[in-house]
Amino acid sequence: MVNQRKYALGLLIDADLLACKPAPIPIDNHEKFSSTGSVPFIDIQAYRRLIGRLMYLTNTRPGITFSVQQLSQFLVKPTIAHYNAAIRILRYIKGAPSLGLFFSSTTFVHLKAFYDSDWGTCSDSR
């Protein structure tokens, strides 16, 4: 079992979300993010640091990869909506901080991947 429980709990402690209510899903997949859709987030460095730490956590939590990737597109000019979505990912992690990847020692691992690039729905880059 490979997990980053201590790292995930450290993230929650740093964001002061250890006692928060967990979120059932990391992000609403139907929500369209834009660089102009909300009030700009003032502390850009804090947003970048949070997204960077979430990117590191995706090594053992592939379920948050899509959400973190969506938010990482706005590192230059984040908004309050982007920051709130990042906090929602932390609330999702709060639900099960010790989730990770399990590799059995008796079976051969087959790694399969799927990539779906949908740039047509992005209002900023199409």
Domain-wise residue ranges, the chain: 2-27+36-121
Predicted confidence at residue 110, as pLDDT, reads: 73
- Rounded distance, CA 55 to CA 7, Å? 12
Sequence-ordered alpha helix ranges (H) in 1-126: 5-14, 44-57, 65-72, 80-95
Query: Alpha-carbon torsion 52, 53, 56, 60, what sign?
Result: negative
Please, which residues have CB within 8 angstroms of residue 119's CB and are 6 or more apart in sequence?
125, 126
pLDDT of residue 43: 95
Q: Taking a C-beta distance cutoff of 8 angstroms, is the pair 122, 116 a contact?
A: no
Ranges of residues in the chain whose predicted pLDDT is under 50 = none
pTM of the model: 0.82
User: What's the pLDDT at 116?
Assistant: 65
